[in-house]
Amino acid sequence: MIERRLSVLVAGLIVFLVFAMLWNGFVRPSHRSARIESAAPSSTLVTIIPDSATARRDTTARQAGQSPPPPTAAPAPADPGTSYMVLLARSETRRRIRASAGYTYLNEVVAESGDSMLHRWDNRIFTPVRVFLGPGTAANFQTSFLDAVREAFERWQQAGVPVRFRLDADSVSAEVHFAWKVQFEMKRTGQTDLTWDQDGHLVNGVVTLATFDPGGRPLAADDVRVVALHEIGHLIGLDHSSDSADVMFANTKVRDLSPRDIASALLLYQLSPGTLR
Ligand SMILES: [Zn+2]
């Protein structure tokens, strides 16, 4: 009887191990990983300042006027362990992005070489992203700046991007923190640092906004709104556009979202995040 129980146990253990191996090799979901890459790259960004004559160029941005590399560049070889179905799905994602050229700028991501990835929040309509938005101590900080940031969030939300943000989180529980500083050393007025997991899901972010432009001029609340529009674009996962008609142009010229900003964000949230290769 004991032997029989033992053999049942052993058989059960073998079945479990085989199942675990299969699960690990084939079935493990490629998303929802909670693991944060220890060396997650940050998207470091830029901005703005409308109607200023000072040249402000994001060092990470493509130079204005420079044409993007041809989108027909052969993709880098994928991880040999990647299944055929996953490669097929990525191929379809690239096709959809290329097909959107003209009315979105996501194709500029595909055109870039290297480890092109789509980053975005996952399923955050019913459990909004928790944001800490508090007052700053930087000179020229005004409480109207907080309303300007709220207005920028509201504008993106009106555009229909399927991610929601709660702006009343405390700093301990928040996934996104806003910080204020007087000025950046570099020629910019805002910066967004993002962290994502191995599958491209955004997990947290820090948005830093300046209270003075790089020329030392104090920013007004409406300037802060425009900077926040741009930085929230990064926060939802957008990269720069090469078109100065878009708010996501590195050196922002416009003061509201363009149809391409909105279409790019909407398409991003129809696609699976992660590598495109
Ligand atoms: Zn930027």
CA of 233 to the centre of ligand 1 (A): 8
Residue 84's pLDDT is 87
Domain annotation covers residue 46: no
Q: What's the rounded Cα separation, in Å, for the pair 5 and 175?
A: 50
Do 23 and 93 belong to one domain? no
Q: Which residue range is the domain that position 2 belongs to?
A: 1-28
Do 105 and 204 belong to one domain? yes
- Residue 251 CB neighbour total at 10 angstroms: 21
**With the CA atoms of 127, 128, 134 and 136 taken in that order, what torsion angle do they form, in degrees rounded to the nearest 10?**
130
Residue 168's pLDDT is 96
Given a contact cutoff of 8 angstroms between Cβ atoms, the answer to whether 82 and 277 are in contact is no
Rg (CA), the chain: 22
Domain annotation covers residue 60: no
CA of 266 to the centre of ligand 1 (A): 18
List helix spans (H) across 170-220: none
Number of domains comprising the chain? 2
Residue 144's pLDDT is 98
Do 253 and 165 belong to one domain? yes
Domain annotation covers residue 150: yes
Residue 58's pLDDT is 30
Do 5 and 99 belong to one domain? no
Q: What's the rounded Cα separation, in Å, for the pair 59 and 67?
A: 16
CA of 177 to the centre of ligand 1 (A): 17
Given a contact cutoff of 8 angstroms between Cβ atoms, the answer to whether 59 and 47 are in contact is no
Given a contact cutoff of 8 angstroms between Cβ atoms, the answer to whether 141 and 180 are in contact is yes
Do 262 and 155 belong to one domain? yes
Q: CA–CA distance from 5 to each of 1, 37, 55, 73, 227 (Å)?
A: 6, 44, 78, 61, 68
pTM of full prediction above 0.85: no
Do 88 and 197 belong to one domain? yes
Do 14 and 148 belong to one domain? no
Residue 109's pLDDT is 73
Domain annotation covers residue 155: yes
Do 10 and 129 belong to one domain? no
Residue 10's pLDDT is 55
Domain annotation covers residue 63: no
CATH number at residue 231: 3.40.390.10
Question: What distance separates the 2 farthest-apart alpha carbons in the chain?
Answer: 88
Do 264 and 186 belong to one domain? yes
31, burial (CB in 10 Å: exposed 0-12, middle 13-18, buried 19+): middle
Of the candidates 198, 161, 153, 212, which has an alpha carbon nearest to the alpha carbon of residue 178?
Answer: 153
The tokens of 80 are what?
A: 């040999």
Do 19 and 131 belong to one domain? no
Residue 8's pLDDT is 59
Q: What's the rounded Cα separation, in Å, for the pair 117 and 276?
A: 6
CA of 96 to the centre of ligand 1 (A): 24
Question: Which amino acid is it at 32?
Answer: R
Q: Which residues have beta carbons under 5 A from ligand 1 (an ion)?
A: 45-46
Of the candidates 145, 167, 136, 135, which has an alpha carbon nearest to the alpha carbon of residue 235?
Answer: 167
Domain annotation covers residue 221: yes
Domain annotation covers residue 52: no
Of the candidates 45, 83, 87, which has an alpha carbon nearest to the alpha carbon of residue 247?
Answer: 45
Q: What's the rounded Cα separation, in Å, for the pair 66 and 57?
A: 13
Domain annotation covers residue 62: no
Do 141 and 13 belong to one domain? no
With a cut of 70, list the residues of the chain below it in pLDDT: 1-79, 112-115
Residues forming a β-bridge with 176: 131, 205
CA of 248 to the centre of ligand 1 (A): 6
Residue 32's pLDDT is 33
